[in-house]
């Protein structure tokens, strides 16, 4: 028996780690059915080429549409049973598609083995044999979906053998593993509890043994514990750390894991450090008390989030945080708290990752129920929308109404993250919003939007450029970063502000403060230019920024006009201010595109120069081109073979149809002959009936005559 497994996913996800769930299924099923062959396909094309008796598809909700397409292709071309599993079908078994035979709900190892035995016994998956299989959904003879009772969970989990990574063709220094299933908490946005039902963990000995196998068999040196919550059981964590100390890989491997902020203690941080955990992640979600309580429950708090970040930072463990925006009732003020929390911790070097996601209504969650009540989602929706929920699936209109402001704040955070990671001073002033401080951000926004922007920066590598770099800001204000470490203060000269920084001194805490001081001095000068800061703030609000330029009247200003004059005129003509803002945005966009075009031209010139200097490169390029042509020709030949095969199949089907037509005609003629013969027999029967009636009449007359003669 041959089983092929495939994950329904998008092309951009193919480079991510392989589905370890398939490795667990393969190991468990092979132990129970030794002659079973299991293969994992990475693409639909590989699936079609794989000889299989059954196909198993795994899908999350955002990829369920792709799962239906895969099932349709299997049924159309391979004509074999299709099994479907994963979080989506577990939460919504009623969405089982007609191209899918059976859905495996929740934990799949034992259910898969039982279904394989049914197939091996009957050669298919008949409905009458599926009634007694626990934990599945299937279509009955009436065409409706039938769900059998839930299957008891595997307990203890150590009954499951270690995942068979050979089916994933794994080779590499980095991977992930599971040490538990499920989560003891129930967040409103998470469907883990629906799929796994409760928290269960592998034993410490099981976990340590799997790490040993990874290190010895594959040379793995970096492992991510992919549990929903690795440190849910502190005693188990302590036992894992104790056993690890006697292992040969201890101290030679790095680990990362997910935690929950309110469970983080100094003792737990010490345990993780002894295990050589170098990175942790957790969902901070929001820095507003009410929003966080809605998302994660009453036990979560902003104080716990900050305390966890501080503890990990003090231990030298980097932290990556994830956040959710758009919770019901979340306000701009609440979202600002979250952005400020992220900004402050990045500047202090405590976090180096901040993923901000839109609250997405996944099936099986409380958010899904809320969105379903509001008519945002349904069981018949386009599931691909869950991949990019903004703006159609949001449950809070704040994400739409304040889109411009949200975008600016998140660009700020990304710029600051780039600076922290790359130690690049240009990242401080590389967009309309300056990622250094709230004051600096307001300053850059004011200057960039009130006056026409002329901005450029010369970003050269250390080998090509002098020891300094220059960034030009509006109104000729420039910042220089150079070797002069002593001059860390701002020197106003007319309209210019000079800040001198040593690249090596950027590691010192005072250097960023020097930039902020310089920008604050620049802000003070900008305040003198403006007569009415309130008017400027109102004019430059996100609603005005979102208004289209063609909807307002335009009147130009001289480039020599001061911001004060602009502010006075703006007070009387708000539409004019909106047009100015839109024009500035368009100017910046066109200038950025011009810079990108120039950069592309420079790279093309450099590539051409390199090719001229190195003829071998041209030969290699020609060889690559020939290889691509050969590959294209081979693809065309394969397509031609496929077309010829399809044409032969079509011809064969046409011949079959014609034969059936002839057979139908013959049967029709035979039926006509039978009908004619039937009519003739009926006529004979009627004639006989008439003859009998006549004879009966004669007999009756003779009887009367005889009685009369007597």
Domains (ranges, CATH) in the chain? 2-147 (3.40.50.2300), 171-401 (3.20.20.70), 445-611 (no CATH)
Asked if residue 311 lies in contact with residue 282, where contact means CB atoms within 8 angstroms, the answer is: no
User: Rounded to two decimals, what is the model's pTM?
Assistant: 0.62
Q: Which of 441, 403, 452, 678 is nearest to 557 (CA)?
A: 452
How far is Cα of residue 365 from the mean position of the Cα atoms in its chain?
Answer: 17
**DSSP-assigned letter for residue 389:** -
Q: Classify residue 523 as exposed, middle or buried by CB count within 10 Å of its CB (0-12, 13-18, 19+).
A: middle
- Cα–Cα distance between 163 and 22 in angstroms, integer? 8
How far is Cα of residue 611 from the mean position of the Cα atoms in its chain?
Answer: 40
Query: End-to-end alpha-carbon separation of the chain, Å?
Result: 96
CA distances from 182 to 188, 194, 227, 239, 455 (A): 15, 9, 8, 20, 52
The pLDDT score that the predictor gives to residue 91 is 96
- Cα–Cα distance between 302 and 291 in angstroms, integer? 10
CA distances from 172 to 41, 210, 217 (A): 19, 15, 10
- Cα–Cα distance between 91 and 365 in angstroms, integer? 9
CA distances from 517 to 472, 491, 522, 523 (A): 18, 11, 9, 10
CA distances from 271 to 141, 222, 274, 296, 556 (A): 56, 18, 5, 25, 65
Q: Which of 17, 20, 78 is nearest to 44 (CA)?
A: 78
Q: Residue 485 in 3-state DSSP?
A: coil
CB count, 10 Å around CB of 467?
Answer: 11
Asked if residue 204 lies in contact with residue 240, where contact means CB atoms within 8 angstroms, the answer is: yes
- What strands lie across the sheet with 222-225, from one edge to the other? 174-177, 222-225, 254-258, 277-285, 318-325, 351-358
- What are the structure tokens assigned to 259, written together? 């935690």
Q: Residue 616 in 3-state DSSP?
A: helix
Q: Enumerate residue ranges in the chain where pLDDT < 70.
A: 11-16, 418-624
Q: Are strands 254-258 and 222-225 parallel, antiparallel or unpaired?
A: parallel
The pLDDT score that the predictor gives to residue 666 is 86
Asked if residue 3 lies in contact with residue 39, where contact means CB atoms within 8 angstroms, the answer is: yes
Q: Are strands 351-358 and 145-147 parallel, antiparallel or unpaired?
A: unpaired
């Amino acid at each position: 028996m041959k089983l092929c497994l495939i994950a329904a996913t998008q092309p951009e996800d193919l480079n991510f780690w392989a589905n370890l769930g398939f490795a667990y299924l393969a190991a468990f099923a092979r132990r129970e059915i030794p002659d079973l062959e299991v293969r994992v396909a990475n693409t639909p094309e590989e699936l079609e080429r794989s000889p299989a008796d059954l196909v198993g598809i795994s899908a999350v909700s955002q990829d369920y549409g792709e799962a239906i397409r895969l099932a349709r292709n299997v049924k159309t071309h391979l004509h074999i049973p299709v099994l479907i599993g994963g979080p989506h079908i577990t939460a919504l078994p009623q969405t089982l598609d007609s191209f899918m035979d059976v859905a495996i709900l929740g934990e799949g190892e034992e259910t898969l083995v039982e279904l394989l035995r049914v197939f091996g016994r009957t050669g298919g998956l008949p409905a009458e044999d599926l009634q007694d299989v626990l934990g599945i959904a299937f279509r009955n003879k009436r065409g409706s979906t039938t769900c059998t009772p839930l299957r008891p969970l595997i307990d203890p989990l150590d009954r499951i053998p270690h995942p068979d990574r050979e089916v994933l063709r794994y080779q590499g220094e980095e991977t992930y593993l599971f040490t538990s299933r499920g989560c003891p908490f129930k967040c409103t946005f998470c469907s883990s509890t629906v799929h796994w039902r409760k928290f269960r963990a592998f034993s410490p000995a099981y976990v340590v043994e799997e790490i040993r196998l990874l290190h010895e068999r594959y040379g793995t040196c970096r492992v991510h514990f992919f549990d929903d919550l690795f440190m849910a059981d502190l005693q188990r964590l302590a036992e894992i750390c104790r056993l690890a100390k006697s292992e040969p890989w201890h101290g030679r491997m790095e680990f990362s894991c997910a935690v929950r902020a309110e469970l983080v203690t100094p003792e737990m941080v010490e345990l993780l450090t002894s295990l050589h955990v170098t990175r942790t992640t957790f969902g901070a979600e929001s820095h507003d008390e009410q929003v966080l309580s809605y998302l994660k429950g009453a036990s979560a708090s902003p104080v716990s989030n900050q305390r966890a970040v501080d503890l990990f930072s003090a231990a030298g463990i980097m932290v990556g945080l994830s956040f959710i925006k758009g919770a019901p009732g979340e306000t701009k003020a609440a979202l600002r708290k979250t952005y400020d929390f992220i900004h402050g911790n990045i500047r202090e070097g405590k976090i180096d990752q901040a993923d901000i996601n839109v609250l997405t209504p996944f099936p099986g969650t409380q958010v899904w129920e809320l969105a379903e009540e509001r008519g945002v989602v349904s069981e018949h929706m386009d599931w691909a929308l869950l991949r990019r929920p903004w703006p159609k699936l949001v449950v809070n209109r704040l994400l739409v109404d304040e889109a411009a402001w949200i975008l600016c704040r998140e660009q700020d955070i990304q710029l600051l993250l780039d600076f922290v990671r790359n130690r690049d001073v240009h990242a401080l002033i590389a967009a309309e919003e300056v990622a250094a401080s709230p004051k600096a951000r307001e300053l850059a926004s004011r200057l960039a939007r009130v006056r026409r922007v002329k901005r450029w920066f010369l970003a050269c590598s250390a080998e090509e450029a002098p020891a300094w770099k220059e960034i030009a800001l509006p109104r000729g204000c420039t910042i220089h970063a150079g070797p002069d470490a002593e001059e860390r203060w701002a020197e106003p000269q007319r309209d210019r502000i000079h800040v001198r920084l040593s690249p090596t001194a950027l590691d010192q805490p005072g250097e960023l403060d020097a930039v902020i001081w310089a920008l604050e001095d620049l802000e003070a000068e900008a305040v003198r230019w403006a007569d009415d800061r309130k008017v400027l703030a109102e004019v430059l609000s996100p609603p005005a920024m979102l208004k289209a330029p063609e909807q307002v009247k335009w009147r130009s200003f001289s480039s020599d006009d001061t911001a004060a004059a602009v502010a006075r005129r703006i007070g009387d003509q708000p539409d004019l201010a909106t047009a100015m803002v839109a024009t500035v945005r368009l100017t910046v966009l066109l200038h950025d595109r011009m810079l990108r075009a120039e950069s592309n031209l420079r790279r093309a010139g450099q590539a051409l120069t390199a090719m001229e200097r190195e003829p071998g490169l041209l030969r290699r390029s020609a060889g690559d081109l020939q290889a691509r042509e050969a590959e294209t020709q081979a693809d065309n030949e394969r397509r031609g073979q496929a077309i010829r095969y399809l044409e032969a199949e079509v011809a064969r089907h046409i011949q079959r149809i014609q034969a059936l037509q002839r057979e139908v005609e013959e049967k029709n003629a035979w039926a006509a002959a039978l009908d004619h013969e039937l009519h003739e027999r009926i006529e004979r029967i009627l004639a006989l009936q008439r003859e009998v009636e006549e004879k009966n009449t004669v007999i009756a007359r003779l009887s009367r005559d005889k009685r009369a003669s007597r």
